[in-house]
Amino acid sequence: MTMFPANMPEMPPEMMGPVMDNPQGFADAMGSGMEAFSAAMEGGGGMEAAFEAFGDAAGPMMADMGISPEVFDAMGDMVGAAVGPAMMMGPADAGGGDMGAMMMDAVDMMMPEGMDMPAEVGGAMMDMGTAMGDAGVMPHDVAGEIMAPPGEPGYPMPCDAAGDPVMVPGDPESVPAEAVQAPPADGAMADMGTMMPPEGGYDHPPMDPGMTMPEPMTFDLAIAPALGEEGFVGADPMADAMGGNNMTPPTSEALAADAMDAAMGSAMDGAMDQGGAAGDQGMAQPDPTGELSGAENIAPEPDADPSAGMG
């Protein structure tokens, strides 16, 4: 029995386009990734190494579908923010089928409005949970690996006034009602018959005045680390590698503005390279021969009468 976060991330077009175009390709990539995950766990590499092996196997297949490594990593963080709390608040001994049902419902809840989750995607989520259970990993350990740490951008649950998480592993009643929502009544967890909240719901605590609610995990937030040092204002790359940067990532509007600035700078550099000088000397001049077309061939009219055409 468990709950999902109230602020569920939404699948962005960068992911949904390729997946909806080729859901079986997505399922195949996930299957290959989980084979590598299981092999790494069997080899004693630990969960971090297993997830790295998963990415190494699934990532190139996703890239062939048009899902860049940056988008693939961002989506992993977004799914982690969606299903991690459910795994953490659920029973510590939940099995692979239960984890698969949680992942299946989480991704279904992340689908954009009016868009249904393809059956291949749901099956891949169920298979991933089952494979994790078969590999011997436990849901609380998975949740700790796939969620951002408390206090960092993207952590999906509230913290108290001291910045400590209020969510207690295995206890959905540890979290205020405003921070959580029940699984879908017609979802995979309901079909399992083991993970739904009790009739009448849980006895949630109230929101304390100093308690902070997290912002929902967005695509901009999830993809920011892939931008490197410039993705965070004043970020220290060494601190970022150690998990110590807690900076505000750029929005998509800011990234677009940066791209425009870069394009303008490139255009000015090109004009200078062709012999232009700064200021008016670097701009195209009117062509009295009439050989040019467009704006370059418009010469200024002498002594135009500003009152002409009026009255």
Residue 64 reports pLDDT greater than 90: yes
Residue 294 reports pLDDT greater than 90: no
Q: Report the number of distinct structural domains present in the chain.
A: 1
279 in a structural domain? no
104 in a structural domain? yes
272 in a structural domain? no
| More confident call, 123 vs 307 | 123
Residue 303 reports pLDDT greater than 80: no
Tens digit of pLDDT for each residue in 28-38? 999 999 999 99
| Gap between the Cα atoms of 162 and 249, Å rounded | 23
Average pLDDT, the chain: 78
302 in a structural domain? no
207 in a structural domain? yes
| More confident call, 239 vs 175 | 175
Pick the range with the lowest mean pLDDT from 62-76, 119-133, 199-213. 199-213
| Gap between the Cα atoms of 82 and 107, Å rounded | 8
251 in a structural domain? no
| Gap between the Cα atoms of 59 and 81, Å rounded | 20
Structure tokens at 286: 């009117």
Residue 278: its pLDDT value, please? 40
108 in a structural domain? yes
259 in a structural domain? no
Print the domain residue range for 184: 4-228
Rg (CA), the chain: 26
Tens digit of pLDDT for each residue in 82-96? 999 999 999 999 999
Average pLDDT over residues 104-127: 94
Average pLDDT over residues 253-259: 45
**pLDDT band per the 50, 70, 90 thresholds, residue 4:** very high
Tell me the DSSP string of the chain: ---EESS-----HHHHHHHHH-HHHHHHHHHHHHHHHHHHHHTT-HHHHHHHHHHHHHHHHHHHHT--HHHHHHHHHHHHHHHHHHHHHS-TT--HHHHHHHHHHHHHHHSPTT-PPPHHHHHHHHHHHHHHHHTT--HHHHHHHHSPPTTSTT--S-B-TTS-B-PBTTBGGGS-GGGEEPPPTTSHHHHHTSSSPPTT---PPPPPTT-BPPPPP-HHHHHGGGGGGGGSTT--HHHHHTT---PPPPPHHHHHHHHHHHHHHHHHHHHHHTT--SGGGGSPPP-TTS---GGGG-PPPTT--TTTT--
